[in-house]
A and B are shown apart, each in its own frame.
Chain A
């Protein structure tokens, strides 16, 4: 069944299709319609789930943690300040190996108050152990939520996933989304059956005081799970493609095969970049786009395989790691170290500033004419 849906509705329908047992969420612009539609869906009985209407995002994730530890499949959604308030529990849920799925509407951090697109919120959660996906369109939001449960709940993985969608560009923009049939979805996504749960018949204590004798190995196991996840993501992507006809890998390369310059990007900027590349190709410029879907686990090998023979690579970051470079730039440079010298880092679109076709063509111009530069601000009004 196809419907015209905003990204937020796609996220809510994704959680519904996954038949989550417990939802705990708190409203924040521009995520609000996710909790509104889920409230309706639960109230209507379309989804048999408990919806905990908590008093903060912190409690939202805490409730998901408690519920998931009992063996429930849980879902939450937030944005920016809400994600930051959850921070402590973002670490907690990953270390507790609870495959919660959370939709995060990428929004800028205050002050000044901004409700517009910016990935700094989720990138600040980089080192927590969560897997992170950046979506390009609403179909991908819906599909990523379904796939994230299957990937995260794999016994070898047991990790939570953050599914990111850009504020307004996706959250409030309507697109056609194929919702498939419930039978197909149930066949794709089995019920959640974790090995370790809170069960009075088998009393265990979770997350107790852990000495240096053991803590280190738990950290090691999370890293191993991330490495294993790269394989599981590919396998699940294959299964998904077989059932639903769409393929989602770790990365999404577009016209990279013979490209002389490639723009690496994430989120909705990729759509504009692909269009810019099409236009550039018509003028004879061999350009390509490599959209990174998974920021964690970071697909370093895939990026290297695709980009190692590309003479010029530019990374567009809708975020900045203050005092250094764009975060995707530094990560991309890391995996290209020793093979790729022509690297450009672009900062663009912070706080919802539009990144236009012209901006992207300008980036390609810089890459073709100027020497490599790790930090180039696109469109900043620093000279009057």
Chain B
């Protein structure tokens, strides 16, 4: 190693694990939130991980045969089978006595909220030993931005055109998963990678079905500049559109209490998919967000740990 390179190796302070399991050269769009999501999750899980990936953006991002970018064994599986395929992987590892390997199911919102919900529910009820992460970009992005049951109220998609935009709130997947009495369910956001890595670390150390709802903007589908992915994601949490909380063995904990939440309008205005919304609709969404936040606060009050005196 020459002197110049040695200077470059001067230690820097990192707030995330330095290891990179995922490699560049992948096929994600510019500014892809789902790719940041995988990068951060693998920083925590490391290379001793096997992942099932159904039809979703990541089925493409990973790369075509004979290449892969994930850096871990990937099983591309049928759309609705992320959880059931991962169940098989996990059980086989157990049956064959292969220890120290994490089983990860990695699916988009369509593969989780919609077509894969049955398999996920089955796996969670059985208590399969796996981590299930849904990277939520709020529509079927890989097929070209069609609405899913995770698409929020007011959003344009190619199947909810402006004249008939998505009406009604997105499905509350966290509550569905909490209702399965799983040991761990958490929300996370790619704009808060330290929080995300902490949650994946925590999930990794537990057994049973662990679930993470991971918010991951999609510049292509949300109609924003690729450079704004992290900014919009941060705003989602700072406006309480996507609160960060975790439910550990039924105990609720809000991880980030925003003192002065930013107006939801700021969040909506940054994205072309909400451009058509009237003032009334924006107010309605603000009220929905307020209501949702109050609900989580109440859940924490009711089912959180009592504050230490």
Contact = CB atoms under 8 A, between A and B. Distances in A.
| A–B proximity contact (CB within 8 A) | yes
Interface of A: 21-22, 24, 48-50, 52-56, 58-59, 62-72, 74, 88-89, 92, 198-200, 202-211, 214
Given A54-B87, A54-B122, A205-B68, A62 B101 contact: no
Contact of A70 (B62, B84, B93, B122): B93
- B84, B94, B125, B128: which has the most chain A beta carbons within 10 Å? B84
B62 A208 contact: yes
B92 A21 contact: yes
A318 to B, nearest CB: 30
Contacts of A58: 80-81, 84, 119
> Closest 5 interchain pairs by CB?
A66-B88, A55-B122, A205-B68, A63-B88, A59-B84
Interface residues of B, number: 48
B84 A62 contact: yes
A197 B88 CA distance: 13
A71 B84 contact: no
Contacts of A53: 126
Contacts of B66: 208, 214
Main secondary structure of the interface of A (DSSP, over half): mixed
A63 B87 contact: yes
Contact of A200 (B63, B86, B101, B118): B101
Nearest to A63: B88
Contacts of B98: 70
- A50, A53, A88, A205: which has the most chain B beta carbons within 10 Å? A205
Contacts of B50: 70, 198, 200
A66 B125 contact: no
Contacts of B81: 58-59, 62, 65, 89
Interface of B: 47-50, 52, 59-60, 62-68, 70-78, 80-81, 83-96, 98, 101, 118-119, 121-122, 125-126, 128
A117 B65 CA distance: 42
A202 B48 CA distance: 10
Contacts of A62: 77-78, 81, 84-85, 87-88, 119
B70 A67 contact: no
B180 to A, nearest CB: 12
Contacts of A54: 84, 87, 122, 126
Contacts of B91: 22, 24, 50, 52, 63, 67, 72
Nearest to B69: A205
A59 B119 contact: yes
Contacts of A207: 75-77
A200 B66 CA distance: 17
A67 B122 contact: no
Contact of A52 (B52, B67, B126): B126
B16 to A, nearest CB: 21
Contacts of B78: 62, 88-89, 92
A89 B85 CA distance: 11
B68 A203 contact: yes
Nearest to A214: B65
Contacts of B48: 200
B79 to A, nearest CB: 9
B120 to A, nearest CB: 10
Contacts of B75: 66, 69, 198, 206-207
20 contacts: A21-B92, A22-B88, A22-B91, A22-B95, A50-B92, A58-B81, A59-B87, A63-B84, A63-B85, A65-B77, A65-B81, A70-B88, A71-B96, A200-B48, A204-B68, A205-B74, A206-B73, A206-B75, A208-B64, A209-B59
A67 B92 contact: yes
A49 B85 CA distance: 17
Contact of A56 (B62, B88, B89, B118): B118
A58 B123 CA distance: 13
Given A204-B68, A208-B76, A52 B118 contact: no
Nearest to B68: A205
B88 A65 contact: yes
B76 A56 contact: no
Given A66-B77, A66-B89, A205-B65, 9 more contacts: A55-B122, A59-B81, A69-B88, A199-B73, A200-B72, A203-B74, A205-B74, A208-B66, A214-B65
B193 to A, nearest CB: 23
A200 to B, nearest CB: 5
B95 to A, nearest CB: 4
A211 B64 CA distance: 8
B126 A204 contact: no
